[in-house]
Structure 1
Amino acid sequence: MSRDEQKTAQDGRRQEPPIHGPEAFEAMRKAGRLTAEALDLLMEAVAPGITTEALDKLAYTFAMDHGAYPASLFYRGYPKSICTSINHVVCHGIPNDKPLREGDIVNLDICLIVDGWHGDSSRMAYVGEVPRKAARLCEITHEAMMRGIAAIKPGATTNDIGAAIQSFAEGERCSVVRDFCGHGLGRVYHDAPTILHYVEPSYSVVLRPGQFFTVEPMINLGRPHVKVLSDGWTAVTRDRSLSAQFEHTVAVTETGVEIFTLSPKGLDMPRRPA
């Protein structure tokens, strides 16, 4: 979500991140696993010629068949169940009837509500054979996210997450998008804390066991600047460079971190065609 949206979402609510107990952990494991299963289904369906509208319908049907509901559907007027962000689209791409083309990369972003709890995750998918620079960007972005997650432990701060992501991405000559961030979640879709994917000295939250949030860096091959199109949702790179994103829902534990949205099929990273 955008930093402005996160601030608005938290206005009038607690500013301290909520602390959750064992029952909440179990509920989030269930929500996270179902979200990961939905993404597995979508990843396997991506191929040249399929439309993002078809992927959206697949996600909606999966949610309904499993007693869940897509959190993005009608959220602040958003019209679809998932976001599909292709090539230079940074995030919040709206599914439509345009077929995916050989060589595209596409981010698939879904949040499912399961028994009132939110599981939020996104992955990149390859549409057929993709250029090496596109595949490399996806690899860098996934590694950046995992390095950010590895920095999570009690007593660390949100800036430790941002530092791990930023140092790696920029070391690979990529840039970190500043306009969007990770967020707390649980029974609430967007909650404290805000998770920045770069270092911001003026903002830092201490991590404590029981906090739930997303880590979801958006990494560009070019400059970090983005713009939102006239539909009010679709964010694109200003220089039209490729962009990639991965996202996991995680929890701070007594000893480190737990990832709720790992793929049951090992599809956390896109696979090249056989």
Structure 2
Amino acid sequence: MSAPHGINPNIPHSARVYDYWLGGKDNFEADRRVAEQTMAAVPGIRESARNNRAFLGRAVRRLSRLGIRQFLDLGTGIPSQGNTHEVAQAEAPESRVVYVDNDPIVMTHARALLTSTPEGETAYIEADVREPRTILDHPDVLSTLDFTQPIGLIMIAILMHIPDEDDPAALVKEFAEALPSGSHLVLSHLTLDFLDKETADHYLSATSKQAMHRTPRTGEQIARYFDGFELVEPGLVAVSEWHDEPLFTEAATWMYAGVGKKP
């Protein structure tokens, strides 16, 4: 894969590492090196990533069947199987989706591959989730989504890339305050809660040497992101346990997942 203009293939990026774990081909040697190093330090991380992708599909399908027809997907990542609009529009072709990412290569692939049904619509904006107003006030967001009607806010494995000093809870709150009643928050997040101390310490030691920032958080910390929302069953759980049969049951669990409804 050659690097598009403006992309440095020597600097790993979380979206491309995740793409590698999902079996994609839109990644560079630097991404593959970090992905393999992480897999060596973190047994089951690739399987957890795939369970995480399955959670996205399950949650979007659930929301679609509840009548949600529009979605704001933050931290889109490289397009793969089961993208938000594909799942939503399979249930309701008129569904409307806005994808947001701050990686130019992600947006290039999104525009090329994430094609809407004729009845629905997809839009793609390059923006930083740490600047909510630039997203919420973006003309493409406002022309695609109706903020008087319920919206599914998708935050899959994105907050773990935001350090504490950027106050991720405040970011979630700002997005949440813009959503009308009946909207839902779909969220997953890296955690060490399910691991033994030796494995957790090994992960922290190994990833401290990598260029990409990831902050694992406890279930108690992650639950605070749902302030103002009512968690729907089964609540905040291991990502593989959020309804249906998990894809990988023997792998270590590295992610929490949950869905909340705004009253």
Please state which structure has a larger fraction of its residues in helix: 2
State the TM-score, normalized to the length of structure 1: 0.31
State the TM-score, normalized to the length of structure 2: 0.32
Q: Which has the higher contact order (CA 8 A, sep 6+)?
A: 1
